[in-house]
Amino acid sequence: MRVAHVALFQLLPLLLLAACSRREAVTSDSGPANGAAPPGIRANAAPPVAKAPAAPAASLDLNTLEAQLRETKAIGLFTKITLKNQVDDLLGQFRKYYQGKAKPTMKDLRRSYDLLMMKVLSLLQDEDQRLATAIVSSREAIWRLLANEKTFATLQG
Amino acid sequence: MHRLTGVLAHALVVAALFALPTSADDDEALKKDLTAVIALHGLPCGKVVAVKVLAESDYNASCEDGNRYHVHLNAEGRVVVEKQK
């Protein structure tokens, strides 16, 4: 059981990827990492007006997000493994899609992705609001990585 | 000797008092975990009200709506939920 628990956190790669992509966004932006605007705003290319005051750290870097997923008590061990199974299944569907083997359309994949995110957020939102917020803010960034064949391929390597 | 026995008995009572709530907490956490797992598989249940531990990572869960499920981790590392009759 302990082994499974350790292995678990090499899972939920989508969520960790969110943190990666967020880090890239921050790097490509000249703004300070900790004073970044809320991620949803950043993803939608905010107009070039005066920068808003530093928001509370809603977004997380990779290490922090990984640590919080590892430590959150909002999700039980079996639930985490089940989520990992479903993340793996979704990644498998993307892989087949890009190989031209799968019937699902990108629209179908988006629906599956949204459903999976909703499951994760449903489990987190009541007991780990902060982590849920960080994941919500990373949602579109994760999708962009998955929905692009080139970036998806780099994730598989 | 009597003094030592008394100390040991006291220690056991204290240990038991601390152990009981932990066990109950674990039990509730397991029920909650299995409730979420069954829901993630899209199966009807409501809440898990009783759990029988069959082995490590192997449970029989009874739901408040009367459904019962065998929940276990298979060799491929997948959580499997099977409806019991």
pLDDT in tens, A131-147: 899 888 888 888 888 99
Integer Rg of chain B from CA: 18
How is residue A72 written in tokens?
């959150």
Under 8 Å between Cβ of A4 and A81: yes
Contact B33 A4 (CB under 8 A): no
Enclosing H/E stretch for B70:
strand B68-73
Could you list the residue range(s) of the whole structural domain that residue A129 is in?
2-21+60-156
User: Has residue A45 been placed in a domain?
Assistant: no
What range defines the domain where residue B77 resides?
2-84
Residue B24 pLDDT greater than 50, yes or no: yes
Judge if ipTM > 0.90.
no
Give the mutation candidate from B25, B33, B41, B70 for the A interface (greatest A CB count, under 10 A).
B33
- Residue A132 domain-assigned (yes or no): yes
**Is residue A54 included in any domain, yes or no?**
no
Number of domains in chain B: 1
* Residue at A97 is within a domain: yes
Per-residue pLDDT of A4-18, as tens digits, reads 444 444 445 555 444
Amino acid residing at A119 = K
Domain count, chain A: 1
Mean pLDDT of B33-58: 96
Under an 8 A CB cutoff, do B29 and A79 touch?
A: no
pLDDT band, residue A128 (cuts 50/70/90)? very high
Contacts of A127 in chain B (CB under 8 A): none
